[in-house]
Homo-oligomer: A and B are copies of this chain.
Amino acid sequence: MGNTFGHLFRVMTWGESHGPAIGAVIDGCPPLLELSEADIQPDLDRRAPGQSNLVTQRKESDTVQIVSGVFEGRTLGTPISLSIANEDQRSGDYREVATKYRPSHADYTYDAKYGHRDYRGGGRTSARETAGRVAAGAIARKLLVGRYAVEIVAWVSKVERVSVDCDVETVTRDAVERTPIRCPDPAIAASMIAIVQKARKAGNSVGGVVTCAIRGCPPGWGEPVFDRLEADLAKAMMSLPASKGFEIGSGFAGTDLTGLEHNDEFYMSDGRVRTHTNRSGGVQGGITNGETIYFRTAFKPTATVMHEQRTVTRDGQDTTIEGRGRHDPCVLPRAVPLIEAMAALVLADHALRHEAISPRR
């Protein structure tokens, strides 16, 4: 359990890092959506390793195949099965990771839960698992863009102690993609890149924050009480590897304000209800109000470092372990398409849920 996400637009992902393939199946995508691999591959390429020397050098072409659910270029309404072959399954020596728990990885907890784990390249706990999410998210996004004109853009807004506040209303994906760190401010991006390079050379790693903006959502999406839109977004983001925090709208900083300062006053604009400010982050009571949704997700520094650290063996002996081989000094640039994919999955699901009970009918 736990590998399934969504109530109506439902995704199940599968696959270990060093098995023959990884993938995802979507049950609930509406029919008649134009779809081909070309709609999915660009997002996978943005997630793929080896794009720059800021990230891991594992070589994976991450070529997606649509194995079912599409016929004559359009979705059938049946499950869409997506498969991505694992190519770079280095035969490497896994004896050490088979018997020692890497600090701040999930080796120990998987053993504690299951009594068995695939230690090759992290198995199911590898970030490779997220390729399936990105592929599924690309389909969700296609639905959102085509049917509802919703736009989702994420970017790196903090690396270690360097951060930037961009305007959530105007950042474009083009601006984001212009730098390998995926920060739309070129000067700040340069500082961030320098930090990552320094960490890479030192065999160390850094974390940071990704901000995401969702523009064009109609009012009324989201469900009250438990399945609030922000609750499902929080779950989606906190399900990503290495994420440690989520905030929407004013977030933690909003706790410095008084109610009078924080409230978003309403006004009419061209017959549409708008708010003067948007500290709510586009949701009130769990439901969209038509303003831009924006949220931030914190990622801890990557757990793999090229230094000796204390740990224990599977059979309970104190020992040490040192990271070797490929090394991802900063997950942030690759987290950007992940955040967008998870946001798209949440929104597509809520769009369909809203259709089901829409009072228009």
Contact = CB atoms under 8 A, between A and B. Distances in A.
Contacts of A27: 1-4, 12, 14
A32 B265 contact: no
Contacts of A204: 258-260
A99 to B, nearest CB: 13
Interface stretch (A37-45, A53-61, A66-74): A66-74
Interface string A191-205: 000000001000011
Contacts of A105: 284-285
B266 A311 contact: yes
A226 B67 contact: no
A244 B235 contact: no
Contacts of A220: 109, 112-113
A251 B244 CA distance: 5
A123 interface: yes
A21 interface: yes
A147 interface: yes
Interface string A3-37: 11101101011111001111101011011100000
Nearest to A6: B226
A199 B79 contact: no
Given A255-B160, A287-B110, A357-B77, A250 B300 contact: yes
B354 A355 contact: no
Given A25-B14, A32-B359, A245-B252, A300 B279 contact: yes
Interface string A93-125: 000000001011110111011111110000111
A336 to B, nearest CB: 15
A62 interface: no
Contact of A113 (B25, B129, B287): B287
A311 B276 CA distance: 10
Given A14-B67, A79-B13, A304-B259, A112 B287 contact: yes
Nearest to A246: B246
Given A3-B223, A4-B226, A204-B259, 11 more contacts: A4-B4, A4-B27, A14-B25, A28-B357, A31-B114, A71-B123, A231-B239, A258-B301, A258-B305, A352-B357, A355-B355
A81 B258 contact: no
Interface in A232-259: 232-239, 241, 243-252, 254-259
* Chain A to chain B: the 9 pairs with minimum beta-carbon distance, closest first: A106-B285, A2-B223, A245-B247, A205-B259, A2-B227, A235-B235, A112-B219, A109-B287, A14-B79
A46 interface: no
